[in-house]
Amino acid sequence: MSDTLYQVYKNATLALPRPFILLDKDLLDQNIKAILQRAHGKSIRIASKSIRSVAILKMLLEQSPTMIGVMSYSAEETLFLLENEIQNILIGYPIVNKEHIRQLCVKIATGAQVTFMVDSIEHIQLIEACAAAIPTTVNVCIDIDMSSKFPFIYFGVYRSSINTLAQLKTLVQYIKSTSHIKIHGLMGYEAQIAGLPDQVASKGFMNRVISFLKKKSIAEIAARRKACVDYLQAEGFTLSIINGGGTGSIESTLQENYINEVTAGSGFFNSHLFDSYKQFKHQAALMYAIECTRKPQTNIITCSGGGYVASGAIGHNKQAIPHLPLGLQLIPDEGTGEVQTPMDISHCKVPIQLGDPIFMRHSKAGEVCERFNKIHILIDQKNILEVNTYRGIGKCFL
């Protein structure tokens, strides 16, 4: 990456009022290729939360027959994706709103390929009641907890209530007693592997600790996941979906060769949280531009807007970072601001004038799309194609 790229982006976007999102298609293509290579021909399910644009989801799905479908994040989003002719949708998280379940069941009754995520008897009861009323048969995927409980360290997240084989058996026995539910898949998302960087600059000790914990956890969860798959297969279930992982764990997830699809989203745009992993390096394809509006000191510029902070545990890594031109630094006391963002330009080699763009990278891939109506796709380093984000068509799901 160099300041030449800054000039390319600047020249290609001169006519665009800032702020705007820019997606470098060449770099997106490199990320797609790299993710396909990392998956070694295994199926990839695209995490829509990390994309949040129908046009881009469709573009990704067209890239390879191994991009088999989408992992959606809400009922309304799923209905919206179906309206937009996206099929093979695994809803990544449970739905408990009865009206939403009913609407999805109606779609399923007319052929929509949608799989619900469940991890409790209550989830099953809600779906069974709606499915029976229509009537239709609903595919469910059981989400198993992939956290590792080490002495003094809970290495993972709090999601599924199915932590043990015994709990899975209880749920499965209950599902067997229903008449409108089919076990279609099993998912285990190892967030502590997929979502935790292990090669962060100047965090040598922590990187070693995290790498050690990851290694231990990978072995432990693989055994747990295998026991669950073996049990379901021994019970006679054909699992069309055995899903695991995310962008950050493709390699380790696919070491478990019975897994038939891996989820990936963040790696396509490659937000900056995904810069610091040992196993892979993707390109900074998505960025947003703000513009310099003031120069409070010779070494400081102040830009309009900029403060799009990511969700999750509060920390500096949730802040956007200056991307291009190179050498810009945020001011620690101010960060990226609600309507203004100052930056130190002492180490920047490009002269910056009022009205010049500054390209920033968000910490998470999809969230930034909730701030913009359009994604401007830069093609061949000069042409711009505009597509809508979810927000650009008036949609706001979560």
Ligand X SMILES: Cc1ncc(COP(=O)(O)O)c(C=O)c1O
> Which residues of this chain interact with ligand X, rule CB under 6 A?
47, 50, 71, 92, 189, 194, 246-247, 263-267
Which residue number, 21 or 71, has a Cβ lying nearer to ligand X? 71
Which residue number, 189 or 372, has a Cβ lying nearer to ligand X? 189
Residue keyed to tokens 């597509």: 387
Alpha carbons 357 and 289: distance in angstroms, whole number: 6
Least distance (Å) between residue 263 CB and ligand X:
4
Least distance (Å) between residue 50 CB and ligand X:
3
Return the SS3 of 197.
coil
Give every CB contact of residue 286 below 8 A, 6+ residues apart in sequence. Answer: 21, 22, 23, 24, 28, 269, 270, 271, 361, 362, 365, 368, 375
**CA distance readout (Å), 389 to 23, 57, 369, 382, 386:** 12, 10, 6, 21, 10
Name which of 334, 375, 341 is nearest 358 in CA terms.
Answer: 341
Alpha carbons 227 and 230: distance in angstroms, whole number: 5
List % helix, strand, coil for the chain (3-state, nearest 5).
Answer: 35, 25, 40
Residue type, 144: I
Which residue number, 103 or 263, has a Cβ lying nearer to ligand X? 263
Least distance (Å) between residue 48 CB and ligand X:
9
Which residue number, 50 or 389, has a Cβ lying nearer to ligand X? 50
Q: Which tokens hold the place of 357?
A: 């763009």
Q: Which tokens hold the place of 196?
A: 């935790």
Least distance (Å) between residue 69 CB and ligand X:
13
Please count the other Cβ atoms lying within 10 Å of the Cβ belonging to residue 85.
8
Which residue number, 13 or 263, has a Cβ lying nearer to ligand X? 263
Which residue number, 5 or 51, has a Cβ lying nearer to ligand X? 51
Least distance (Å) between residue 38 CB and ligand X:
11
Which residue number, 114 or 303, has a Cβ lying nearer to ligand X? 114
Least distance (Å) between residue 389 CB and ligand X:
16
Q: Is 163 exposed, middle or buried (0-12, 13-18, 19+ CB in 10 A)?
A: middle
Least distance (Å) between residue 152 CB and ligand X:
25
Alpha carbons 221 and 252: distance in angstroms, whole number: 11
Cβ-proximal residue to ligand X, closest one: 246
DSSP 49: G
Least distance (Å) between residue 10 CB and ligand X:
29
Which residue number, 6 or 268, has a Cβ lying nearer to ligand X? 268
